[in-house]
Amino acid sequence: MSRVVMDIDNLHARIGGKEILKGLNLQLEEGKVHAIMGPNGAGKSTLSKAITGHYDIEVLDGEIRYKGQNIVDWEPEDRALEGIFLSFQNPVEVPGVNNAYFLRTAVNAKRKHQGLPELNAAEFLREMKKLVQELGMKPEMISRSLNEGFSGGEKKRNEILQMMMLQPDVIILDEIDSGLDIDALRAVSEGINKMKDGKRSFLVITHYSRILDYIEPDYIHVLKDGKIIKTAGPELVAELEEKGYGAIEEA
Amino acid sequence: MRPVLLGSMSPESLMEELQAAPSRALAARRLSELGMPTRKSEAYRYFEIDPLMDHDWERVEISATSEIEETQRRIVITDGVVTALPADVEVQVGCSDAIDLDGAHFDPLYYLGHLMSREVISLRFRKDARVTIVHRCTQPAKLLAYRTAIYVDANVHVQISERYEGENACGALILSGHDAFVSRDATLTLVKDQTLRIGDYTPIFSHRIKVDSQASCRLHSFDFGAGSGLQLIKAELHEHARIDADHLLYAKDHARRGTVSQIVHIGQSSVSNQRAKNILVEKARGIFDALIKVEHSGKETKAHQNSKAILLNDGAYMASKPQLEIYIDDLEASHGSTTGQLDEAQLFYLRSRGIAKDEARKMLILAFANELIDALEDDALREDLHRSFEEAYWGTTNVTCMETCHGCEDLAAETAAK
Ligand SMILES: Nc1ncnc2c1ncn2[C@@H]1O[C@H](COP(=O)(O)OP(=O)(O)OP(=O)(O)O)[C@@H](O)[C@H]1O
Ligand SMILES: [Mg+2]
């Protein structure tokens, strides 16, 4: 087993007054791709919110140890600066905030945190334009308001763009594949694969096997009723597709 | 002079008491009908007017016109007197006691302002022009009343930007405002930055805007000021006339500021579009009390009105009353009002990318305000107002090109590509 970069231990978390995560255990290994599958409402997005410090989540018990520290009380921006990134299931629209300005602010906040000099507008835009092209996004996305009026697929590509610019260490992708057409799925998967460097870890939340064909997970975890009830290799996907989640519980 | 004492006088005694010009008889009659404003008056129900009306004011004497300086594109009015005029803009400036008063204005102080101004400063534009008016007040603790009339001739397009400076006018009460006449097929763009850059006084701007057939008026008011202040606007729209009125307010501390307006659709196929955005901090109170009225004659009009407020503290308060009064059913109309905090989901999104909470809040507040600042067509004014807003909000400005100008990004990218 590789080194564990994030160790989630007995996590109990409440959202809107209701306990959703009920003693969840999960270890993310360095350089590995972990896929999480599970029925609607099982708590997958809740887990991603708990890891990133979303305001809706109240952690009742348990720990999220990341790079050796328990981060459950950390501010969201500190988690991000330390390398945690979430691609949202439903990215919000932020009218009036220019996409490029937003992303440059984020990139420079991270660079400052790392003790690196800030990128100037030209350096930043050169990089951003290159990635926008690679991801098959329209160039006008650069100067539009953040996610405002973006189609579902455009929003997802914009999440991947942010991921590629921010170069995080732990990447959570919450249904990155939903609503993507075939070309977008390929472009997004290629973007993700390019980020694999043997050190970065991925947590891919999905309902479909297709994206997993592209990005080849090392582990499949089944999340049901607030817990990880099974962990196995990629061969589990076929079994799930055939039998559904009901069979897993009986196993 | 205590304005409250004028409240119960007959028109004749008002004329005598205020030594008004004979042409102001209509103003005296209307003021005596409306009575002086109190906290019970419609127009001032959210504004603390009583202490101002009850105060024993010494009036600023309007001096005879002194020497007039020549400037570039600027008209300076100091204590109610024109002290500088542009050499390079075609505008006919004069003083006259003749004025075509609005006989149906809702604001008593519109009439008081006229009664107290023996002469009106009149600006007539016969050709397209762009000009800045700087209002300066230098008399502390006094009541200053003066009125301006703006005439935009048929087919003429004019942009006026206004600024206010109160050099030493702490504690003063200023009653001023425009009677603007936008003739057939003309355009008047009026950009008012009501933020007081120096000093502190209470301005009550009472405007009357008449938009003739097929003419249009764009009114952009920006108020990032402290203390008390109110603008009252009455606009009338004739056939195919149009008004777009945007009001951006940022108020903090104990400020009480805002807009009270009446837009009246008289002619058919007239259009009004009014948007207010309010950002309130600490214990500030914002006012947007706005009526759009469509008369029987206003067939096929379009009237849209919207107010949004963000309260950044528990003590802040927004009095938002958009209203429609409609006498016909053949029209397109909408109005709405929202008051709330910054959007938590948006804030979280920015923070989840490593942007610190304060910075993220600032980005969202600027974004909220930007919609109305970006609506300005004049590049230089837009930059000025971005800077002015940042200064008011942040204390300093660090507006960079990328925040405000998308053109530069492309330029930067092109240079980089070479
Ligand atoms: N803000 C909230 N208030 C109350 N309940 C919530 C809130 N957010 C989520 N829930 C509930 O928590 C449960 C888990 O939701 P979650 O979004 O984590 O599911 P999921 O596994 O991601 O499902 P899906 O596959 O449909 O995305 C659901 O029953 C949901 O209704
Ligand atoms: Mg989900």
Three-state DSSP string of B38-102: CCCCHHHCCCCCHHHHHCCCEECCCCCCCCCEEECCEEEEECCEEEEEECCCCCEEEEECCCCCC
Q: Which pLDDT tens digit goes with each residue over B205-253?
A: 999 999 999 999 999 999 998 889 999 999 999 999 999 999 999 999 8
Domain range holding A22?
4-247
User: B355 vs A105: CB contact, 8 Å cut-off?
Assistant: yes
**Inter-CA distances, B41 with B9, B28, B109, B338, B364, Å:** 17, 18, 11, 25, 36
- Among A11, A20, A90, residue to substitute to test ligand 1 (most atoms within 8 Å of Cβ): A20
Give the closest residue (by CA) to ligand 1 atom 26: A40
Give the pLDDT score at B232.
Answer: 98
**List of residues 6+ apart from B65 with CB closer than 8 A:** B81, B82, B95
Give the pLDDT score at B45.
Answer: 93
Q: Which pLDDT tens digit goes with each residue over A73-125?
A: 999 999 999 999 999 999 999 998 999 999 999 999 999 999 999 999 999 99
Mean pLDDT, rounded, of chain B? 91
Measure CA of the first residue to CA of the last residue in chain B; give whole Å: 71
How far apart CA B158 and CA B127 sit, in angstroms, is 8
pLDDT at B359 over 90: yes
3-state helix, strand, coil split of chain B in percent (to 5) is 25, 40, 35
Among A91, A95, A106, beta carbon nearest to B354: A106
Query: Beta strands B81-86 and B74-78: pairing type?
Result: antiparallel
**List of residues 6+ apart from B40 with CB closer than 8 A:** none
**Residue A123, helix vs strand vs coil:** helix
Give the pLDDT score at B166.
Answer: 80
Q: How many angstroms does the Cα of residue B312 sit away from the middle of ligand 1?
A: 29
Q: How many angstroms does the Cα of residue A198 sit away from the middle of ligand 2?
A: 27
Cβ–Cβ < 8 Å for B399, B390: yes
Give me the helix-helix angle, A182-195 and A152-166, nearest 10°. Answer: 10
Give the pLDDT score at A225.
Answer: 94
Which of B166, B221, B151 has the alpha carbon at shortest distance from B192? B221
Q: Is A133 in CB contact (< 8 Å) with chain B?
A: no
pLDDT at B403 over 80: no
Residue B150, amino acid? I
Cβ–Cβ < 8 Å for A211, A33: no
How far apart CA B415 and CA B182 sit, in angstroms, is 45
Domain range annotation of chain B = 3-342, 343-418
Banded pLDDT at B1 (limits 50, 70, 90): confident
Atom of ligand 1 nearest to the CA of A175: 27
Q: What is the ipTM of this complex?
A: 0.97
Among A76, A94, A95, beta carbon nearest to B352: A76
Give the closest residue (by CA) to ligand 1 atom 19: A41
Ligand 1 proximal residues by C-beta, below 6 Å: A 15-16, 18, 20, 38, 40-46, 56, 89
Q: How many angstroms does the Cα of residue A172 sit away from the middle of ligand 2?
A: 12
* Structural domain count of chain A: 1
- Among A18, A208, A225, residue to substitute to test ligand 1 (most atoms within 8 Å of Cβ): A18
Give the mutation candidate from A77, A99, A103 for the B interface (greatest B CB count, under 10 A). Answer: A77
Give the pLDDT score at A249.
Answer: 65
Kindly tell me the sign of the dihedral angle through the C-alpha atoms of A146, A150, A152, A153: negative
**pTM for this entry:** 0.86
How far apart CA B224 and CA A12 sit, in angstroms, is 47
Kindly tell me the sign of the dihedral angle through the C-alpha atoms of A131, A135, A139, A145: negative
User: A101 vs B402: CB contact, 8 Å cut-off?
Assistant: yes
Give the closest residue (by CA) to ligand 1 atom 25: A40
Q: Where are the beta strands (DSSP E) in A54-134?
A: 57-66, 69-70, 84-87, 94-98
Mean pLDDT, range A19-25, rounded to an integer: 97
Which of A25, A16, A9 has the alpha carbon at shortest distance from A57? A16
Token duo for residue B137: 């007040």
Please, which residues have CB less than 5 A from ligand 2, an ion?
Answer: A 44-45, 89
Give me the helix-helix angle, B406-417 and A121-134, nearest 10°. Answer: 80
Among A91, A95, A109, beta carbon nearest to B349: A91
Give the closest residue (by CA) to ligand 1 atom 17: A45
Give the pLDDT score at A250.
Answer: 46
pLDDT at B409 over 70: no
pLDDT at B90 over 50: yes
How far apart CA B320 and CA B337 sit, in angstroms, is 7
Give the pLDDT score at B39.
Answer: 87
Which of B78, B150, B147, B143 has the alpha carbon at shortest distance from B118? B147
Give the closest residue (by CA) to ligand 1 atom 27: A40
Give the pLDDT score at B396.
Answer: 59
Mean pLDDT, range B29-50, rounded to an integer: 93
Cβ–Cβ < 8 Å for A37, A206: yes
How far apart CA B397 and CA B306 sit, in angstroms, is 29
Q: Which ligand is nearest to the CA of A174?
A: 2
Most confident listed range (A82-96, B4-18, B166-180, B197-211): A82-96
